[in-house]
């Protein structure tokens, strides 16, 4: 998989992809990540990429030309499955979306900034819009990092134990069951006996029951979605 990110402040993305699982995945050749400075594609003085809104109003708008020039440059070299705009009014990111995108080959992520991007890009160029929550951030860089992490960890070979991702919260519209590690008894706080029994079938039943119980308690709407 290859992911290209278009950003007005690419420096914000240097750290998330330089450590831990994402760095190891890139080193293994399981995915490629490239961050492009939109200003490099501006033909205006001072590398300008934003301008005032037509009709007036507070906040600047990212211009069509620099973003489109970058997308066209990338698209001339390879075909992209999706061109994704990170925006608060996009489709809310969930595990199902991450699963679907993890099976794609090439993605472009466009990070908004200021008041957003010219609407004509959204109408004619962007193929998918994603939000990571019902709140507003200063730009799309942090949402892009979240999206990349949620996708890449699902690529076969990225995680040491490939079944780990399958038991994550939301994979089956359920939250994960509680987890424990050594010691089995710490100051009288004991691990449930079933987890020490070695009986896999009983452990699986316990985990499923606890996942349902936790979901009902904390995120009951997930169970309603599952029933619909």
The radius of gyration of the chain's CA atoms, rounded to the nearest angstrom, is 22
Render pLDDT for 12-46 as a digit per residue (tens, 0 to 9): 998 999 888 999 999 999 999 999 999 999 999 89
The percentage of residues in the chain with a pLDDT greater than 90, rounded to a whole number, is: 85
Residue pointed to by tokens 């039943």: 205
Q: What is the pLDDT of residue 170?
A: 66
- pLDDT tier at 224 (50, 70, 90 boundaries)? confident
Residue 171's alpha-carbon distances to 174, 184, 193, 228, in angstroms, are: 7, 28, 26, 16
Q: What is the mean pLDDT of residues 161-169?
A: 59
Residue 25's alpha-carbon distances to 73, 125, 176, 177, in angstroms, are: 26, 29, 24, 27
Residue 165, pLDDT > 80, answer no
The pTM of the full predicted model, rounded to 2 decimals, is 0.89
Q: What is the mean pLDDT of residues 182-192?
A: 97
Torsion sign (Cα): 13, 15, 20, 25? positive
- pLDDT tier at 168 (50, 70, 90 boundaries)? low
Render pLDDT for 94-108 as a digit per residue (tens, 0 to 9): 999 999 999 999 999
Q: What is the pLDDT of residue 160?
A: 74
| Greater model confidence, 226 or 121 | 121
Q: What is the pLDDT of residue 29?
A: 95
Render pLDDT for 62-75 as a digit per residue (tens, 0 to 9): 999 999 999 999 99
Q: What is the mean pLDDT of residues 68-89?
A: 98
Q: What angle separates helix 200-218 from helix 220-227, to the nearest 10 degrees?
A: 110
CATH numbers and ranges of domains, the chain: 2-152 (3.40.1280.10), 167-227 (1.10.1270.20)
């Amino acid at each position: 998989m290859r992911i290209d990110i278009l950003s007005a402040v690419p420096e914000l993305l240097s750290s998330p992809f330089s450590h831990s699982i994402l760095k190891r995945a890139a080193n293994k050749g399981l995915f490629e990540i490239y961050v492009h400075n939109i200003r490099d594609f501006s033909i205006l003085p001072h590398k300008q990429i934003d301008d005032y809104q037509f009709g007036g109003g507070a906040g600047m708008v990212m211009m069509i030309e620099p973003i489109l020039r970058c997308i066209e440059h990338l698209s001339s070299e390879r075909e992209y499955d999706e061109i994704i705009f990170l925006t608060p009014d996009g489709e809310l990111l969930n595990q199902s979306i991450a699963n679907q995108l993890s099976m794609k080959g090439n993605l472009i992520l466009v990070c908004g900034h200021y008041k957003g991007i010219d609407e004509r890009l959204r109408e004619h160029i962007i193929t998918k819009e994603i939000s990571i929550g019902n709140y507003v951030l200063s730009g799309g860089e942090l949402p892009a990092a979240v999206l990349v992490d949620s996708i890449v960890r699902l690529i076969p070979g990225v995680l040491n134990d490939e079944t780990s991702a399958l038991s994550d919260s939301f994979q089956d519209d359920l939250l994960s069951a509680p987890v424990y590690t050594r010691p089995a008894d710490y100051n009288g706080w004991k691990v449930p006996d079933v987890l020490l029994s070695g009986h896999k079938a009983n452990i699986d039943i316990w985990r499923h029951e606890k996942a349902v119980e936790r979901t009902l308690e904390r995120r009951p709407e997930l169970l309603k979605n599952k029933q619909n």
